[in-house]
């Protein structure tokens, strides 16, 4: 049994030195895509021996180009530098991060969005420029603007929302993608439904304010730190606050709040009367009062699912028309959203 395993590994190493797939993966590595990640986006039926034939190599190139939003001609030419498809790109990063660190993640997410848009209706509703207008519309059929309700509205508007946890490069908190004048949102930072509620509302703010004028993306490395951001970030943060709360507000307390359960109860009291997500009130208070530890304790008392990414992707699959994509494309989406 051991000798068979050694023999197989030797064959695989020999194949890697002669098979053009070795060079293909090496070129993707130079772009920032690890071979292990590249192999995961290929269909389950794919085998590296396919690249022994010209047709099999071409098919592999097409699959990889689609998965990472790569210019196929640059990937097919072994002497060319591999390049991503040209799009409008806006990076909202801290001073210490280079756009190159999140470049490959952004294009991978863009490729996923192009597939996701196939499973949603072609006509999209406009995201209102005034956040309160959108809030009032949602409250016609919901008690509060929470993550499930905002996801419901996005589905009705034809805007896919995906949560992608594993990325080939550095992680972003969220991004808006525009493709053929249709929008989608990708969220990636782990958090509760209340965390992702604000992230989604922020990204809708980018759409509502027209921050993306052509096909491409706006990528937010961090959300909720508008004091350090540009004008677009300030507008998107303000939009999110008004959408969730109905007004611009930073929560405080008249007396000292010393425990998580006390903050949770205080938040629930405001939430019931003002029709606001209790978890958001807790996070807003923690951010405004620099009491993040207390806010995290309070969030543990919020009932329901604690994994915001699971809420997003469960809703996505309930809304997505799986018949609109091929089996290979569906497998790619399933792998990315797992």
pLDDT tens sequence across 54-92: 999 999 999 999 999 999 999 999 989 999 998 877 777
153: confidence class by pLDDT, cuts 50, 70, 90? very high
Mean pLDDT of the chain: 90
Distance CA 102, CA 112 (A): 16
Domain boundary among 76, 99, 122: 76
Neighbouring residues of 333: CB distance < 8 A, sequence distance ≥ 6: 112, 115, 116, 320, 325
Mean pLDDT across the stretch 258-270?
A: 96
Residue 329 pLDDT class (50, 70, 90 cuts): very high
Q: How much is the CA Rg of the chain, to the nearest whole Å?
A: 22
Q: ∠261-198-184 over CA atoms, to 5°?
A: 150
Specify whether 59 is located in the same domain as 149.
Answer: no
In a domain, 276, yes or no: no
Separation between Cα atoms, residue 121 and residue 155, nearest integer Å: 9
Does the pLDDT at position 229 exceed 70? Answer: no
Q: Let me know if residue 157 belongs to a domain.
A: yes
Write down the pLDDT at residue 91. Answer: 78
- State how far the alpha carbon of 140 is from the alpha carbons of 38, 125, 145, 257, 275, in Å: 45, 17, 11, 34, 12
User: Which domain does 207 fall in, by range?
Assistant: 88-248+307-336
Is position 274 within any domain?
A: no
> Quick one: 145 and 204 in the same domain?
yes
In the predicted model, what is the mean pLDDT of residues 323-330? 96
Residue 34 vs residues 20, 41, 104: alpha-carbon distances, Å: 17, 11, 11
**Contact present, 167 and 68 (Cβ < 8 Å):** no
pLDDT mean over 241-253: 95
Alpha helix ranges (H) inside 189-230: 193-208
Same domain flag for 50 and 94: no
Flag the least confident range among 33-42, 97-106, 258-267, 320-329: 97-106
The pLDDT of residue 18 is 67
Establish if 13 belongs to a structural domain.
yes
Q: How confident is the model at residue 99 (pLDDT cuts 50, 70, 90)?
A: confident
Residue 183, Cβ neighbours under 10 Å: how many? 23
C-alpha to C-alpha distance for 142 and 275, rounded to whole angstroms? 9
Assess whether 62 and 96 both reside in one domain.
no
d(CA 75, CA 57): 11
Report pLDDT for 230: 85
pLDDT of 7: 39
Query: Which of 27, 56, 76 is where one domain is finished?
Result: 76
Whether residues 172 and 241 share a domain: the answer is: yes
My answer on whether 70 and 102 are in the same domain is no
| CA nearest to 314, candidates 193, 167, 141 | 193
């Amino acid at each position: 049994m051991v000798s068979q395993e050694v023999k197989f590994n030797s064959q695989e190493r020999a194949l890697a030195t002669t098979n053009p797939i070795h060079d293909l993966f090496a070129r993707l590595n130079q772009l920032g895509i690890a071979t292990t990640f590249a192999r995961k986006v290929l269909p389950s039926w794919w085998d590296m021996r396919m690249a022994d034939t010209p047709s099999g190599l071409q098919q592999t190139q097409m699959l990889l180009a689609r998965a990472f939003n790569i210019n196929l001609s640059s990937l097919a030419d072994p002497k060319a530098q591999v390049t991503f498809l040209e799009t409008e790109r806006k990076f909202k990063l801290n001073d210490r991060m280079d756009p190159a660190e999140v470049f490959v993640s952004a294009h991978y997410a863009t490729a996923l969005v192009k597939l996701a848009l196939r499973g949603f209706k072609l006509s999209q509703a406009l995201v209102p420029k005034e956040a309160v207008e959108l809030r009032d519309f949602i409250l016609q059929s919901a008690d509060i603007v929470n993550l499930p309700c905002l996801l419901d509205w996005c589905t009705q508007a034809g805007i896919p929302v995906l949560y992608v946890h594993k990325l080939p490069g550095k992680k972003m908190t969220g991004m808006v993608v525009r493709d053929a004048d249709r929008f989608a949102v990708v969220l990636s930072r782990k958090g509760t439904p209340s965390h992702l509620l604000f992230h989604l509302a922020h990204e809708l703010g980018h759409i509502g304010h027209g921050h993306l004028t052509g096909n491409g993306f706006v990528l937010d490395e961090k959300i909720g730190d508008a004091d350090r951001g540009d004008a677009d970030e300030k507008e998107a943060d303000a939009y999110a606050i008004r959408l969730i709360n109905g007004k611009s507000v930073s929560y405080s307390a008249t007396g000292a709040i010393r425990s998580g359960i006390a903050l949770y109860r205080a938040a629930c009291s405001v939430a019931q009367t003002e029709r606001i997500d209790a978890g958001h009130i807790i996070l807003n208070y923690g951010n405004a009062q620099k009491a993040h530890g207390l806010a995290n304790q309070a969030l543990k008392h919020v009932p329901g699912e604690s994994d915001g990414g699971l809420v997003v992707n469960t809703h996505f699959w309930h809304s997505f028309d799986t018949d609109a994509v091929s089996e290979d494309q569906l497998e790619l989406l399933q792998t990315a959203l797992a």
